[in-house]
Structure 1
Amino acid sequence: MPAAVRARLRAAVAASLLASAIAVPVASADANAAGSEAAAAVAPPSVAVPAAAPAAAADPREPAIGPGLEWVAHRDNPFRQGDDPDFINSDLAFTGDHVIQGNFAGFSVWDIADPANPELRATVPCAGGQGDVSAVGDVVIVSIDETMSSEACDAVRVPETAENWEGLRIFDLSDPAAPRYAASVRTRCGSHTHTVVPDPADPARVLVYVSAYSRGASLHCTGRNPLQIVSVPLDAPDEAAVVGELDLFAGLDAFGPEDRVAGGAETRSTTGCHDLTAYPAKGLALAACRGEGLLLSIADPMHPVVLQQVRDANVAFWHSGIFDNDATAVVFQDELGDGFINTCSPAFGAERGADARWTLTGGRLEPGAYFKIPRAQSDLEKCVAHSGGLIPVPGRFIVAQAWLEGGVSVIDFTDPAAPVELTYFDRPTYGYSMDYTAGIWSVYHYDGYLYASDMYDGLEVLRLTDPLFADAARYDPGELNPQSQPQYAWAWREAPVLPAEVDARAALAPLDVAPATIPRVETDASVAVSVSLPPGSLDPGETADVWWMPAATAVATVVASPDGSLPPTELVLPGPLDAGSYDLVARGDRTSDRLALGVLTVAEPTPPQRPTPPPTAGDPVDGWLVAGLVAGAVLLGLAVAVVLLRRRAVRRAAAPSEGP
C-alpha cells in the first residue's frame, strides 16, 4: 500500500490498545537466550496463543464463487477492532505447514497442515505500517515503513521530521506458538516491501532487497531512495546488516511530472520502488517503481544490473510484477488511485487500474494486452489490481490475483492477445464506503490451495477443483515467499531415466513386484501385478507415479502413506509380453531424485509331458506290434519246452538198467 496513505494513520492507537487486541497475552520471550542484548531491548510485549482458531461467524455477505473453485475455510482477523484500519491484514508468506499473515499491528501465525481447518498458533503485536512479511525456515522478516519512536514492538509513531526508526524486524519462529523478536535492521527509508533472494555464495544466509520510496519532508527519507541490500544469516539473524546499496536509476531518467502524457494516467513521480519480484533461478527480477517498471539481472545478487526501463501511459502506479515459469512473459499490476477508488467500473475502461501483460524475448520486454475483471464493482467498493502470484500449470501462464473488494481472480495470460478469467471469488460490498480500503490484499497458490488475505475479514482458503490444476496441486514447495518466485519443474510428467550400469541399477531402492515372474503372454490380454514400497521410502503424503518403462507410461498414481510407504497397488499391464525382463519404476513428486526399481520377469512356459496312449484296434502299426509280441512269446515257449525235453532225456540215459 503506497505511502500516500500514511496521513490516514496518524491517529494510530497507543501500544496499550495493541495489547488489548490480543485475547490471551503471555510473557514475552527472553531474547538473551539468543545471546543478543539488542534483541532483549525490543522484545514484543505479548504473544497470544489461542487454543484453537474461532469458528467462522455467520456472514450475510456470502461470496459469489466461479466454476471449478471451492471455498474450504474462513478465519476471522484476530487483530480486528471494528473498522479501525490500524488492525487490517496485509501480505502472506509460507514456511512448512504455516502461513504468516502480516498486519498493520504485527503478524499472525496460522497452522495450515489441514488447509480446511487453519489453526491460529500466535498473534504478535508489533506495529509499524503494513507489515510486509517473508519466511525462511524459522526466520520471519517484517517490513516497517512507518517512522517509529524505536525498533521496539511497543514503539509509537512519530513525525517523519523527528528522530525515528524504520526498517526490518526479524523474528525466530522455532516455536510457532511463541515467535521471538530476534533482531532489527535500520534502513535509510524504511521498508515498504522486501524481497528475499538466496545467496548462491553462502547458503547459510539470504539477501533481502528493501524497496521503499521517498515521500516528501523527512529526516532520513528524501530524494530518490536507493535499493538497499540486507544480509540475514539464518543461524544468527541478530547479525543481520545492510551490506549493499544501489541507485537503480543511476544513468537513467526517472519518471517525473514532465513525463506525463496528455490523456494518460496521473502517474506518480519515481522516488524509489514499491515492490520487487525476483526469479533467482533465471537470474532476473522485476521492479515496480511508481512511474515505471525495470527489468533487472540478478545473476550476481549482490550487484543487480538494470537491463531495461519501461513505461506505459495507461499505468498510474506500478505496483508489482509476476513472471511466467519460463520467464518468457510478465504481468505488471497498476494500483491506480492507491487502492482508495473503484477502478473496476466502465468509467475507467479496461486499460487502467488493470494488469498489463508483456512478452519477454531476448532479454527485452514488449507490451501486450490488458486485463480487467469482467464484474463491474459498485462505487461503494474499492477495486484495483493488487498482489498475486503464479499458479504452476505446465505450459500455461496462470496467476491468482487480488482485486481488493473485487475479490480473487484466476487469470490465464497464456494467449498474449487475449487474457481470460477462469474463475473468481468475490464478496459483496461492505455496504458502505469506508475511509480506508478493504477487501483482498493478496492471494497465492501454496500446496494445492489458494490462500487469500482479507484486510478486515481475515484469512480465506480456496481450492481449485478443475482438472486443469491437477499438476499444480501436486507441488508442495515447503516454503513460498511470493516476491521470490520458485522455478517449477514438472518432473513427474517426464519418464524416469534409469542408469545403464549394473551397479548403479543395483543401488536403487527395490520396488516389490508380486508376482515377480509370470509366463509369457501371447495375446493382447492385460496382466495384473501388484507393487509396493516399505515405510520410509517416500515422503509421507507425497504423490508417487509408477512407470511401466517399456512404454514410458505412468500406469498408476498413488499417495504415499503417513509412514512413507507405497501401499500395495495393482497395475494393469498390456500384453503381449515376450519372455524377458521388464522394468517398473516408482517415483515421488517431492523426492523425484530418488527412484525405486522393480523387475517383472516373463518366462517361456515349460512344455507339458504327453502320456503314451493305449493301442487302437484299427491301427496297422499297433497290429504288427501286437503280432510280433505274440510270435515272440510263442517262440520263447517252444524254446523253453525244447530245453526241458533235453534235460529229461539226459537224466534217463544216466539211470542204471533194470533186470527181466
Structure 2
Amino acid sequence: PMPTGPRNCHDVTIYPAAKLLAGACGSYGLLVDISNPEKPIRIDAKADTNFSLWHTAVFSNDGKKVVFTDEWGGGTSPMCQANSMMEMGGNTVLTITKDRKYKQHAYFKIPSVQSAEENCVSHNGGLIPVPGRDIMVQGWYQGGVSVMDFTNADKPAELAYFDRGSIDAPPGVDVPISPAVAATGGRARASLGGSWGAYYWNGYIYSSEIDRGFDIMELEPSEHLSKNEIEAAKLVQFKEYNPQSQPKIEWPAAFPVVRSYLDQLVRWNGLAAERTTAIGAAIDAAEAQDGKARKDALNQLAKEVDKDIKGAADAERVKLMFEAIRKLARETR
C-alpha cells in the first residue's frame, strides 16, 4: 500500500556514472534520471508501510541495485532486540529493472541481538570496493558497525561487525516509562549513542561514535572474506570520497584482483575444483616471473580461462576473472 506520510527528502545519493539519483524521501524511495541535471525526471517511487523513514541510499557499483535504510523512530529506539521485527529499522535491497523500475527484494537487519538500553537502527554507510561483490559498511547506532554483502539481492548477509556494547548497564529494577517508550520495548533514561556512520576509505573503516569517540577499523580475513579480496579493496584509493555523490569504483590490473574472483569461484562452487586448482597454480607461476615471460604466461592463462566460461556454473564470474587476467597481461611490461 502507498503510505500517506511525509514526502520530503531526508537524503539523496547521486550516482553520476549511471546518471541516476536515489532519493530517501520520508515515506518513499525515489528513482530519478539525472541525465540532464537541470531537468531531473522522477522515473519511479517505492513505498513500504514497514518503513518509518526512508533515510539513506547506496547504489551497487554496477548501478543495478540500491540499498535503502530505515531510520525507524529517528534513531532513538531500541529496534534490534530479539522481539524486534526484521522489516522495521533495517535495510531493504531493491534492484533496478531493465525498464528502470524498482523491484523490492529482501530485508536485512544485524543478527546480533541488542538490549533494551541500546538505540539501534540502520544508518549511514557506503560501499567496500571488493571486486565481484556488492558489499557495504554502515553504522547502526549502538548496534555498532556492520559489513553487509548484498551481492544476492534476495539473501543479504552480514560478513563482519564491531560492537562496543551498551553505553548503559541494564537497570537493577524496572523504572516507570512512558507509553511511547514502552511501545518499543525500551527503558526510560537510556543514553543515546553509537555509530552515526561508518565508511570505508583507502583500506580502513572509519566510524563516528556519537558518545564514545572515533573508531578506525581494518578488515580481517574470514571464511566469508578472503585475504585477496581485502587486498584488492585496498588497491582502490580515493583522494576525496563523498558518499552522497557516489564514485564509480575501478580496480587496477593486479594479482589480488584476479585471485579475488578465483576465491569467489571456489567459495561458491562456480567452477569445477580441478580447474580452480589449476588456475591458482598458473597464477602463482605467472607472478613468479617478470617481463615478457610473465606477459606470455598470463596471455596463455587467459586463453584457457576463456574456454572455461561456457560450461561454468558461474559463467559471469569466470568472465570477470578472464577480463582481469587479460588486463593484467596487457599492462605487464
Q: Do they superpose with TM above 0.5?
A: yes
How far apart in 2 are the matches of 1:313 and 1:400? 25
Q: Among 280, 287, 295, which residue is 1:549 paired with?
A: 295
Query: Which residue number corresponds to residue 407 of structure 1?
Result: 144
How far apart in 1 are the matches of 2:83 and 2:161? 22
Query: Which residue number corresponds to residue 15 of structure 2?
Result: 279
Tell me if structure 1 keeps the 8 A contact 2:236–2:250. no
Q: Among 127, 139, 153, which residue is 1:416 paired with?
A: 153
Query: Which residue number corresponds to residue 181 of structure 2?
Result: none
How far apart in 1 are the matches of 2:289 and 2:151? 41
Tell me if structure 2 keeps the 8 A contact 1:400–1:444. yes
Tell me if structure 1 keeps the 8 A contact 2:168–2:190. no
The two structures have a TM-score, normalised by structure 2, of 0.69
How far apart in 1 are the matches of 2:189 and 2:68? 27
Aligned length: 253
Query: Which residue number corresponds to residue 205 of structure 2?
Result: 450
Alignment root-mean-square deviation, CA? 3.0
Query: Which residue number corresponds to residue 395 of structure 1?
Result: 132
How far apart in 2 are the matches of 1:554 and 1:481? 40
Q: Among 457, 469, 485, which residue is 2:230 paired with?
A: 469
Structure 1 gaps of 5+ residues are: 1-257, 261-267, 495-524, 532-545, 556-591, 599-660
Query: Which residue number corresponds to residue 50 of structure 2?
Result: 314
How far apart in 2 are the matches of 1:361 and 1:470? 32
How far apart in 2 are the matches of 1:597 and 1:327? 30
2:231 counterpart of 1:485? no
Kindly state the Cα deviation for residue 490 of structure 1 after the two structures are TM-superposed: 2.1
How far apart in 2 are the matches of 1:454 and 1:554? 50
Tell me if structure 2 keeps the 8 A contact 1:284–1:298. yes
**What does residue range 54-453 of structure 1 map to in structure 2 within 5 Å?**
260=3, 269-362=5-98, 363-431=100-168, 437-453=192-208
Kindly state the Cα deviation for residue 458 of structure 1 after the two structures are TM-superposed: 1.8
Choose between structure 1 and 2: higher helix proportion.
2
3-state SS of paired residue (1:492):
coil
Kindly state the Cα deviation for residue 548 of structure 1 after the two structures are TM-superposed: 2.1
How far apart in 1 are the matches of 2:51 and 2:149? 21
3-state SS of paired residue (1:321):
strand
Choose between structure 1 and 2: higher strand proportion.
1
**What does residue range 469-548 of structure 1 map to in structure 2 within 5 Å?**
469-492=230-253, 548=294
Task: Give CA deviations for 1:446-502 in whole Å, capped at 9, x if unaligned.
Answer: 0011111111222111111221322111111111011111111223159xxxxxxxx
Tell me if structure 1 keeps the 8 A contact 2:168–2:191. no
How far apart in 2 are the matches of 1:473 and 1:530? 23
> Following superposition, which runs of at least 4 residues in structure 1 exceed 4 angstroms of deviation?
432-436, 528-531, 595-598
Letter in structure 2 aligned against 1:550 = D
Change over 3 Å in CA distance of 1:273–1:529 after alignment to 2:
closer
Tell me if structure 1 keeps the 8 A contact 2:127–2:135. yes
Change over 3 Å in CA distance of 1:481–1:343 after alignment to 2:
same
Kindly state the Cα deviation for residue 552 of structure 1 after the two structures are TM-superposed: 2.5
Query: Which residue number corresponds to residue 248 of structure 1?
Result: none
Tell me if structure 2 keeps the 8 A contact 1:359–1:368. yes
Letter in structure 2 aligned against 1:439 = G
Task: Give CA deviations for 1:23-57 in whole Å, capped at 9, x if unaligned.
Answer: xxxxxxxxxxxxxxxxxxxxxxxxxxxxxxxxxxx
Tell me if structure 1 keeps the 8 A contact 2:117–2:190. no
How far apart in 1 are the matches of 2:92 and 2:300? 39
Greater RCO, 1 or 2 (C-alpha within 8 Å, sep 6+): 2
How far apart in 2 are the matches of 1:339 and 1:326? 30
The two structures have a TM-score, normalised by structure 1, of 0.36
